[in-house]
């Protein structure tokens, strides 16, 4: 397209169109002009601006009704001209301004939106905006004169009406934009002349007249329907703060003269419209504005869209920056909004608002400006006053914003918060609110129920994991964001606040009532964390951090309170309750005498509390929580002190370990977490290291506690935990205290056996783990190859020579065995001892050592077993069961030292037999397990005793139970009788093998177990019975073969020579019975084994009862 | 005190473990000012002197200077900068402990093979007297430190048959006055020696068995001694410098290995062969408490010299390798 650069050329082109338009005012002509205008370049058009505008303005001015279509295109055309040219004349500006405005005037006044179509409105608004931008700076200012006030007022109200009442979003936004430009706050990219002071002062005067209208309308829009979309709200907020900030700017108001200027007479009407921004006006306007701001803050701070909230931050920032003095009444509101948004969901809002707050704090607006500081502490005062009420009445969202505000104002006030905290009433209110809102939900039964089972996960023993606080459930809120917020509040309090005052106050609450104890402990934990400057984000550094010594002192006193008897030894399970009741049996005078000491009064109280009748689940749950919080507190304290905490470990580690051994899962988990915390903070690599480096403190605590009956269970728990978390290197360190434990046990067999058995159990388990299992592992690796090498050379030669010598040797062996079984060989023992020592060459050297001096751990095991023997016949079943467990472990530990084990086994035997024969089935079961272990370790030492004392009884009970189990239904497998049968059947096989039992006993075992091969027996019992036979095959394959064939014989055995009688077995030709399946299965197994040994048994096996071969 | 008497005996405040040998002697050093922590020196049968930090309850330093032979007397001089230790290797070592050093700067050898502990008395700034068993079995030698010059040798008259000295206590009636020595002998008598004249002033046969330990309160001119029998003997010194038996106290079990009067002269403690520590009121020898913790003979008892009475402690070392620390009767 040709472009006309020079005004001459352009004129040539435009002239006909303009003339045409002047003559006939139609849409087509306007469009033609528009089309021609495209071809003219901007500079040329500038020259011809007025010329071209003339026909257009003429068209608008023509009286009479005009078609909207025409108006629209004309205004559009004007807009396009204005957007590329400048308006250089005042008159032109004024005229255009009023002409454009009149386009939208409506006959019905300003209350209603103008009747024109939306397109027209939009175009006019855009044209107006183009006009504002095209005017030269000085020219534009001429628009802002008192004389033009009515015009401006009209435009302003027109635009406001459009912005508020139109439906189309586009119109509303552009109206707001236009208004922005009109009020000289356009934020578009184009160049805007900056106003100097004088000018802005003048403009401010002028705009002040519009302030009521603008502010009210805008605030209505901001708080209006949420469906209008966030864009409009955002622009409205922006316009609001720009306008208000401009008119109410402190800078302008400061310079305002007291007296009004004499109005010039001729302009008196206009002067009436003018506002004098004197102190009175400022005061009354500020009051009204504060209402509006309040509304805006309230609605926008909870607006769903983050951009709106962000804009609110800007509003607060702008107004606090520009007019903090004139709007002093609203500053509180604004700050509240800001601090509330510091913890907003949206990261942008969050960062911006904290940035703004920080800048405010940095500029010392708060700290130097007394008014603001006053406002803040006043806010805090009123917030503290209202807090208890708000915390109970508000919903989660409300609590969240209230707490946000609280947190923000605390942060902003910094150390000045102490003014508020020093007022007892307010501190009281604040703490009461915290106590209220932090109340835990203690109805969960699971927490009380869950018990610790055996060992902890391995991960804890090796690596360090971050100790995680237990998730807490609160009574008065469920939102997960609230608790971290409360933590922050407490930490900020601790950071800036007077630590002594706060700690004193909350310690007071802690000891005041059980109802507050948990909450107070929570608060104390966070106060200390905050005081150490951990885990919080502050706006400005505090002036003086508490010294390490102060902090240590405070922590020491809190720790003392936490670990005090009354607060540490709480009833958390019904077992403990029973134990406590047991203790009640001690005469009260003695109890008193024993418990009175340094903490005499408190302990009597606590034992009285512990003896309260029947604690409810709720109270136990509450106790568990209290302990957890206190344990977490210890974790917090270690982080607060870091390595300095090492000194406090002297008193703090013992209670933590005690709780790590607690039987309530919840508590022991938390305590373990605390141990990990301590490791991290104090620079220990692992829990094990922590324990081993502080063994002296722990041992000291244990040995002192052992002296007091009431503390003994705790001491044993600590020792248990130590053993559980450590390795063999711990042993020498605790040897001393183990002797103390045994000594104490000796003094109180009846009352304390149960609690000591637990520690003995963990002691023996630890010893077994450290000294026996480790060695066994080594041995296994060493012995991996040996069985193969011993078996093969033995098997191959026999396969090669199967003749007479072999049979002869067999018979000699048989006779010898028989004699041995009858016990009439005098040199038996030497022969027995010989292979026994040869069997275990590795054990030999340790055994030799043991004769000289028993290693300490074995000595301990021996001492423990010694006690166990006494306790085997304790009255309480629970104790007996535990003793059996300990005994079993003791056997394992003492195993390598036969010289000591065998006498011990001898002494334990009578008591053990009583358990096996004459006790509760549970105890029988456990005792049988011990027997199996004992047999495995002692071997044939027990043979005679077993066959005499135990076997008849066992066989008898098995036989008598067999018909019962054969008839029983599927539920039977859950009964104790079944478990007992199963255990005995499973154990018998290995027993027979280990004890190397004689033929008579073997036959008895086989006879008893045969019944259990019946297909009617439960499957598991059949399997177990089969396993017995498999073991019997090891011991005596031939007898087993014969016995099985006696039941059922699948093959015929033709004699190898005619002179021999045919073999007649009683099982031959029997019909298929209940035993057949299992017997055939076993025979098949036997045959396979034999074949594996390359023994040609299929061709006429050597037959004990058959005639000897020739 | 009557109210506290009704209470059962307390537990030890804490127990120090780790000497790995029977403990023979203890000595506190708690006087120094705040940044310094209270410490306790212990000498044990394995020849080690251990320095316990009473804040952390751990050994700060171990001094090994007696060749594995039992150490049975330690004493500090010049604050805690220097330490004297007497061992069964027949040597008294002077240790320099200032500024973290730990080395033997001087030593005195003695020929006595007995169990008699030395006694030290400060005469003036940087001048001490030390009484120790001399070469002759029944003599006592007094040296001046640090010059190591002999002041006198106390030799009993011929035919006195006192046996070896068993325990010594140097004292002076007032600062700057002429020093005296109380010595307990194998035959059960306690003798008062005048050092300036080197002359025996008085002899009191108060025990049938050797005197194991004695302590003397120069203010009340009253002393106490224990022997291997069941009796605790209290004797007094009159103006004519004569020793008289004041009172005897019967015990249930025999054998007192150490007896110490607290600095404030209110109570005294004994270490018993029956594993027990006994506390008596010093004024009337009223039995106050029997502390039962150790599982073997208690060898020594010592009171701390802490400047605040409420923090004063009692330590007892025993054959069971433990040192028990007690906090007793310090509320007054």
Q: Which of the two residues, B260 and A405, has the higher pLDDT score?
A: B260
8 A C-beta contact, residue B185 and residue B191? yes
Mean pLDDT is highest, among A243-252, A993-1002, B299-308, for B299-308
What is the phi-psi region of residue B215: left when phi exceeds 0, alpha when psi lies from -120 to 50, beta otherwise?
beta
Backbone angles phi, psi at A452, to 5 degrees: -80, 130
Contacts of B58 in chain A (CB under 8 A): 696
Contacts of B10 in chain A (CB under 8 A): 597-598
Closest C-alpha among A529, A504, A542 to residue A428:
A504
Closest C-alpha among A137, A134, A159 to residue A217:
A159
- Point out the residue among A594, A696, A707 whose CB comes nearest to the CB of B17: A696
Q: d(Cα A1025, Cα A133) in Å, to the nearest integer?
A: 104
Cβ of B57 within 8 Å of Cβ of A697? The answer is yes
Which DSSP category does A195 fall into?
Answer: P
Which DSSP category does B163 fall into?
Answer: -
**pLDDT (0 to 100) of residue B316:** 95
A69 contacts: CB under 8 Å, gap ≥ 6:
A27
Closest C-alpha among A701, A693, A707 to residue A719:
A701
- The residues in A 675-704 lying below 8 A from B, measured between CB atoms, are 696-697, 699-700, 703-704
pLDDT above 70 covers a percentage of chain A that reads 82
Q: d(Cα A926, Cα A888) in Å, to the nearest integer?
A: 9
Q: From the CB of residue A956, how many other CB atoms can be counted at a distance below 10 Å?
A: 12
Q: d(Cα A1054, Cα A195) in Å, to the nearest integer?
A: 130
Q: Which range has the worst mean pLDDT, A103-117, A212-226, A308-322, A722-736?
A: A103-117
8 A C-beta contact, residue A524 and residue A558? yes
Length of chain B: 332
pLDDT digits (tens, 9 = 90+) for A1072-1094: 777 788 888 888 888 888 777 75
| SS3 state at B185 | strand
Cβ of B7 within 8 Å of Cβ of A699? The answer is no
Q: d(Cα B52, Cα B55) in Å, to the nearest integer?
A: 9
pLDDT digits (tens, 9 = 90+) for A956-989: 888 888 888 888 777 888 888 888 888 888 888 8
- Point out the residue among B12, B295, B321 whose CB comes nearest to the CB of A704: B12
8 A C-beta contact, residue B227 and residue B209? yes
Q: d(Cα A909, Cα A915) in Å, to the nearest integer?
A: 10
B223 touching A, CB under 8 A? no
Provide DSSP, A284-296. HHHHHHHHHHHHH
pLDDT digits (tens, 9 = 90+) for A845-882: 444 444 457 788 888 888 888 888 888 888 888 888 88
Q: d(Cα A1070, Cα A852) in Å, to the nearest integer?
A: 62
Q: d(Cα A262, Cα A505) in Å, to the nearest integer?
A: 64
pLDDT digits (tens, 9 = 90+) for A330-351: 777 787 788 778 777 788 888 8
8 A C-beta contact, residue A879 and residue A915? no
Averaged pLDDT, B278-305: 91
- The residues in B 300-329 lying below 8 A from A, measured between CB atoms, are 321
A291 contacts: CB under 8 Å, gap ≥ 6:
none
ipTM of the complex: 0.84
> HEC states along A372-404?
HHHHHHHHHHHHHHHHHHHHHHCCHHHHHHHHH
Does the pLDDT of residue B214 top 70, yes or no?
yes
Q: d(Cα A539, Cα A527) in Å, to the nearest integer?
A: 18
Joined tokens for residue A204: 């401010």
Joined tokens for residue A728: 């063999």
Closest C-alpha among A889, A902, A837, A777 to residue A846:
A837
Contacts of B14 in chain A (CB under 8 A): 700, 704
Contacts of A549 in chain B (CB under 8 A): none
8 A C-beta contact, residue A747 and residue A758? no
- In chain B, the residue whose alpha carbon lies closest to the alpha carbon of A734 is B17
Contacts of B56 in chain A (CB under 8 A): 647, 650
B8 touching A, CB under 8 A? yes
**pLDDT (0 to 100) of residue A407:** 84
Backbone angles phi, psi at B172, to 5 degrees: -140, 145
Cβ of A704 within 8 Å of Cβ of B14? The answer is yes
Q: d(Cα B284, Cα B266) in Å, to the nearest integer?
A: 10
**pLDDT (0 to 100) of residue A107:** 57
B127 touching A, CB under 8 A? no
Closest C-alpha among A306, A330, A304, A117 to residue A225:
A304
The three-point CA angle A203-A207-A212 to 5° equals 165
pLDDT digits (tens, 9 = 90+) for A191-215: 666 677 777 777 888 888 888 888 8
Q: d(Cα A130, Cα A138) in Å, to the nearest integer?
A: 16
């Amino acid at each position: 397209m040709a472009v006309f650069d020079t005004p001459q050329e352009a004129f040539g082109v435009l002239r006909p169109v303009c003339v045409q338009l002047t003559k006939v005012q139609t849409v087509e002509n306007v469009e033609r002009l528009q089309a021609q205008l495209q071809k003219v370049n901007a500079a040329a058009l500038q020259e011809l601006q007025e010329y071209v505008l003339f026909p257009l303005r003429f068209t608008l001015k023509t009286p009479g009704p005009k078609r909207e279509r025409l108006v629209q295109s004309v205004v559009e055309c004007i807009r396009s001209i204005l957007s590329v040219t400048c308006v250089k004349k005042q008159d032109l500006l004024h005229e255009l301004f009023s002409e454009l405005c009149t386009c939208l005037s409506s006959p019905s006044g300003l209350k209603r939106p103008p009747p024109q179509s939306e397109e027209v409105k939009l175009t006019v608004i855009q044209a107006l905006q183009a006009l504002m931008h095209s005017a030269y700076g000085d020219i534009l200012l001429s628009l802002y004169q008192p004389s033009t006030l009515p015009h401006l007022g009209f435009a302003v109200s027109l635009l406001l009406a459009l912005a508020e009442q139109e439906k189309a979003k586009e119109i509303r936004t552009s109206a707001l934009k236009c208004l922005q430009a009109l009020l000289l706050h356009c934020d578009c990219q184009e160049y805007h002349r900056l106003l100097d002071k004088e000018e802005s002062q003048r403009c401010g005067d002028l705009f002040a007249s519009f302030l009521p209208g603008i502010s009210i309308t805008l605030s209505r829009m901001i708080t209006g329907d949420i469906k209008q979309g966030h864009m409009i709200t955002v622009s409205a907020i922006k316009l609001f703060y720009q306008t208000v900030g401009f008119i109410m700017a402190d800078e302008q108001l400061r310079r305002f003269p007291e007296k009004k200027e004499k109005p010039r007479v001729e302009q008196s009407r206009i002067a009436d419209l003018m506002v004098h921004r004197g102190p009175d006006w400022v005061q009354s306007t500020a009051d009204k504005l504060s209402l509006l701001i309040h509304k805006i803050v309230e609605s926008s701070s909870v607006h769903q869209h983050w951009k709106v909230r962000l804009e609110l931050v800007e509003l607060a920032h702008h107004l606090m920056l520009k007019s903090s003095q004139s709007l002093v009444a609203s500053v509180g509101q604004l700050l509240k909004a800001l601090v509330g948004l510091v913890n907003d969901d949206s990261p942008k809002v969050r960062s911006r608002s904290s940035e703004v707050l920080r800048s405010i704090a940095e500029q010392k607006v708060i700290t130097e400006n007394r008014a603001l500081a006053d406002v803040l502490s006043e806010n805090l005062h009123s917030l503290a006053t209202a807090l208890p009420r708000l915390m109970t009445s508000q919903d989660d969202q409300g609590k969240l914003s209230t707490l946000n505000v609280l947190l923000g104002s605390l942060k902003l006030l910094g150390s000045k918060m102490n003014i508020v905290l020093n007022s007892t009433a307010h501190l009281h209110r604040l703490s009461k609110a915290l106590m209220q809102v932090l109340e835990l939900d203690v109805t969960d039964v699971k927490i009380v129920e869950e018990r610790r089972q055996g060992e902890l996960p391995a991960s804890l023993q090796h690596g360090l994991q971050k100790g995680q606080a237990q998730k807490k459930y609160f009574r008065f809120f469920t939102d997960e964001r609230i608790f971290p917020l409360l933590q922050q509040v407490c930490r900020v309090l601790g950071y800036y606040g007077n630590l002594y005052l706060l700690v004193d106050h909350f310690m007071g609450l802690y000891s005041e009532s059980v109802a507050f104890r948990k909450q107070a402990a929570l608060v104390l934990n966070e106060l200390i964390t905050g005081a150490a400057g951990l885990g919080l984000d502050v706006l400005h550094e505090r002036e003086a951090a508490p010294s390490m010594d102060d902090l240590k002192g405070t922590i020491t006193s809190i720790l003392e309170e936490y670990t005090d008897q009354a607060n540490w030894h709480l009833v958390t399970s019904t077992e403990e309750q029973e134990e406590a009741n047991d203790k009640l049996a001690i005469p009260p005078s003695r109890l008193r005498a024993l418990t009175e000491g340094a903490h005499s009064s408190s302990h009597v109280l606590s034992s009285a509390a512990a003896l309260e009748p029947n604690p409810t689940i709720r109270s136990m749950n509450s106790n568990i929580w209290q302990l957890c919080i206190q344990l977490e507190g210890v974790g917090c304290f270690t982080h607060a002190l870091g390595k300095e905490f090492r000194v406090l470990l002297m008193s703090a580690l013992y209670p933590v370990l005690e709780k790590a051994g607690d039987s309530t899962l919840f508590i022991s988990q938390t305590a373990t977490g605390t141990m990990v915390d301590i490791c991290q903070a104090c620079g220990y690599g692992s829990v094990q290291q922590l324990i081993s480096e502080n063994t002296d403190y722990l041992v000291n605590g244990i040995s002192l506690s052992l002296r007091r009956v009431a503390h003994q269970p705790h001491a044993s728990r600590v020792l248990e935990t130590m053993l559980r978390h450590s390795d063999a290197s711990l042993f020498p360190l605790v040897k001393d205290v183990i002797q103390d434990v045994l000594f104490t046990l000796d003094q109180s067999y009846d009352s304390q056996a149960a609690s000591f058995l637990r520690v003995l159990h963990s002691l023996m388990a630890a010893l077994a783990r450290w000294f026996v299992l480790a060695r066994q592992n080594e041995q296994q690796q060493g012995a991996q190859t040996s069985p193969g090498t011993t078996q093969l050379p033995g098997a191959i030669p026999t396969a090669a020579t199967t003749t007479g010598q072999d049979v002869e040797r067999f018979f000699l062996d048989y006779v010898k065995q028989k004699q041995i079984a009858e016990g009439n060989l005098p040199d038996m023992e030497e022969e027995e001892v010989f292979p026994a020592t040869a069997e275990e060459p590795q054990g030999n050297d340790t055994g030799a050592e043991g004769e000289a001096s028993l290693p300490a751990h074995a000595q301990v095991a021996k001492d423990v077993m010694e006690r166990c023997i006494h306790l085997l016949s304790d009255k309480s079943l629970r104790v007996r069961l535990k003793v059996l467990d300990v005994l079993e472990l003791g056997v394992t530990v003492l195993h390598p030292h036969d010289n000591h084990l065998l006498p011990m086994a001898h002494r334990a035997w009578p008591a053990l037999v009583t358990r096996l024969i004459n006790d509760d089935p549970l105890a029988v079961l456990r005792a049988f397990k011990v027997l199996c272990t004992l047999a495995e370790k002692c071997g044939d030492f027990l043979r005679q005793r077993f066959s005499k004392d135990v076997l008849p009884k066992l066989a008898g009970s098995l036989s008598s139970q067999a018909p019962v189990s054969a008839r029983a239904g599927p539920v039977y497998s859950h009964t104790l009788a079944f478990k007992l049968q199963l255990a005995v059947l499973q154990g018998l096989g290995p027993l027979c093998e280990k004890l190397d039992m004689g033929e008579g006993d073997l036959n008895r075992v086989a006879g008893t177990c045969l019944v259990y091969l019946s297909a009617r027996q439960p499957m598991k019992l059949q399997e177990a019975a089969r396993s017995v036979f498999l073991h019997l095959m090891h011991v005596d394959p031939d007898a087993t073969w014969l016995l099985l064939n006696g039941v059922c014989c699948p093959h015929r055995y033709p004699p190898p020579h005619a002179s021999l009688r045919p073999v007649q077995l009683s099982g031959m030709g029997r019909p298929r019975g209940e035993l057949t399946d299992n017997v055939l299965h076993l025979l098949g197994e036997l045959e396979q084994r034999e074949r594996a040994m390359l023994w040609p048994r299929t061709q006429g096996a050597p037959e004990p009862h058959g005639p000897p071969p020739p | 005190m009557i109210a506290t008497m009704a209470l059962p005996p307390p537990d030890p405040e804490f127990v120090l473990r780790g000497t790995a040998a029977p403990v023979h002697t203890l000595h506190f050093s708690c006087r120094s000012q705040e940044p310094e922590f209270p410490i306790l020196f212990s000498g044990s049968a394995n020849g080690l002197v251990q320095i316990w930090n009473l804040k952390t309850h751990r050994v700060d330093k171990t001094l090994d200077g007696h060749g594995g032979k039992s150490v049975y007397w330690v004493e500090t001089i010049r604050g805690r900068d220097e330490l004297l230790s007497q061992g069964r290797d027949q040597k008294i070592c002077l240790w320099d402990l200032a500024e973290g050093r730990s080395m033997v700067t001087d030593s005195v050898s003695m020929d006595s093979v007995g169990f008699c502990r030395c006694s030290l008395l400060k005469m003036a700034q940087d001048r001490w007297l030390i009484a120790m068993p001399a070469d002759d079995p029944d003599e006592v030698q007094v040296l001046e430190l640090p010059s190591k010059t002999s002041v006198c040798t106390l030799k009993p008259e011929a035919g006195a048959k006192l046996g070896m000295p068993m325990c010594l206590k140097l004292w002076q009636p007032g600062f700057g006055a002429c020093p005296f020595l109380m010595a307990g002998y194998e035959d059960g008598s306690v003798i008062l020696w005048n050092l300036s004249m080197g002359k025996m002033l008085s002899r009191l046969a108060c025990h049938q068995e050797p005197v194991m330990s004695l302590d003397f309160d120069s203010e009340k001119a009253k002393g106490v001694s224990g022997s291997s029998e069941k009796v605790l003997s209290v004797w007094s010194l009159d103006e004519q410098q004569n020793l008289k038996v004041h009172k005897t106290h019967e015990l249930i079990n025999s054998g007192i290995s150490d007896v110490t009067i607290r600095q404030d002269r209110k109570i005294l403690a004994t270490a018993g062969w029956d594993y027990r520590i006994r506390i008596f009121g010093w004024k009337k020898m009223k039995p106050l408490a029997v502390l039962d913790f150790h599982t073997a003979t208690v060898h020594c008892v010592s009171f701390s010299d802490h400047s605040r009475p409420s923090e004063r402690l009692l330590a007892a070392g025993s054959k069971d390798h433990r040192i028990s620390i007690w906090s007793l009767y310090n509320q007054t």
